[in-house]
Amino acid sequence: MREVNGTLMHSVMGGTGRPVVLLHGWPQTWRAWRHLLRPLADLGYTVLAPDLRGTGGSAFAETGYAKDDQARDVHQLLQDLGLHGPVRMVGHDIGGMVAFSYARLYPEQVHRLALMDLAVPGYGLEEIMNPAAGGYFHFGLFMTPEAPELLFQGNEQAFLRWWFPRMTTAPGAFPPEEIDRIAASLRDPDTLRGGFEHYRTLLGDGRANRAWGEAGGVLTMPVLAVGGEHSVGSHLADSLRSVAPRLTEAVIADSGHYIPDERPEALLTAISSFLA
């Protein structure tokens, strides 16, 4: 546990060599990367997987969930741990949004950026947030103050048993014991709220990203856009071409949204050559 940017941040770290930072999405914690931690360490990396602000073992905070603020969390954590120099930044879902902000704010500190199965605020997210146009319903629900906490409290396990099968295609990607662990991580009211606070900043996150792009901002480092075949697919790559001139695309076959859980071997193959 480290005190960074006005909060306490939990992380796991292992291996030796060049630093790789893995940022998880909702409703997960650092365990989202459990299948990749040792393989990446075995490839010669120092692997760091933090719990984002307000989730998992990291402390709940009343504010600071804007993705730029969370990028500063990660930056200070790296400095505190002595992981200096350009890092390889990998983010999934909400963690991918934080990784995008990190690359915007600290371009000289990112050697390579890998984003997987998300829509970036300001670059495609707003379209998939609109259920009237066929987008996902949960963004609006999770962004609403107080309402999702009232609905979810005490029903975490039941919701996740409904949620994960609808967001994945690989059988057994989330066995009952893993769902139980994730549900347990959400039972504290503050941690449950912390997860939803990540969504409540999304419109502001989009405005910040668009203002950067409209001012001529581009991602100068190589960027890998990874989508699950039955989820984001090529949408992420297509949405970033205007601001990522060194973009590479990868689509993971037979995967839904939770690629690190569904197809870890295929994902490792896709990112290991890119990170190297």
Give the model's pLDDT for residue 32: 98
Nearest alpha carbon to residue 174 among 31, 53, 57, 39: 31
Q: Give 250-269 as a DSSP string.
A: EEETT--S-HHHH-HHHHHH
Residue 203 half-sphere exposure toward CB, CA atoms < 13 A = 7
Instruction: Please report the pLDDT score of residue 106 as a whole number.
Output: 98
Residue 179 has what pLDDT?
97
Q: At what angle do helices 156-167 and 176-185 cross, to 10 degrees?
A: 130
Domain of residue 27, CATH code: 3.40.50.1820
Q: Is the predicted pLDDT of residue 84 greater than 90, yes or no?
A: no
Q: Which amino acid is at 54?
A: G
Note down the domain range covering 193: 2-275
Q: Say if residue 264's pLDDT is above 90.
A: yes
- 125: amino acid identity, one letter: L
* SS3 at position 154: coil
- What is the model's pLDDT at position 80? 96
pLDDT of residue 206: 98
Count Cβ neighbours within 10 Å for each residue of 37-67 and write b for 16 or more, e otherwise: beebbebebbbbbbbbbbbbbbbbbeebbbb
Q: What integer is the mean pLDDT of 84-100?
A: 96
Backbone angles phi, psi at 167, to 5 degrees: -110, 0
Question: pLDDT-derived band of residue 85, with 50, 70 and 90 as boundaries?
Answer: confident
Residues 6+ apart with CB under 8 A from 125: 118, 119, 202, 206
Domain count, the chain: 1
Three-state DSSP class for residue 113: strand
% of residues, the chain, pLDDT over 70: 100
pLDDT digits 0-9 by tens, 145-203: 999 999 999 999 999 999 999 999 999 999 999 999 999 999 999 999 999 999 999 99
Asked if residues 47 and 41 have their Cβ atoms less than 8 Å apart, the reply is: yes
- Beta pairing partners, 120: 123, 124
Output the CA torsion sign for 19, 66, 256, 164. Answer: positive
Residue type, 24: H
**pLDDT category of residue 88 using cuts at 50, 70 and 90:** very high
On average, the pLDDT of the chain sits at 97
User: Tell me: the pLDDT tens digits for 108-117?
Assistant: 999 999 999 9
Q: Are 50 and 81 in contact (CB under 8 A)?
A: no
Q: Terminal CA-to-CA distance of the chain, rounded, Å? A: 29
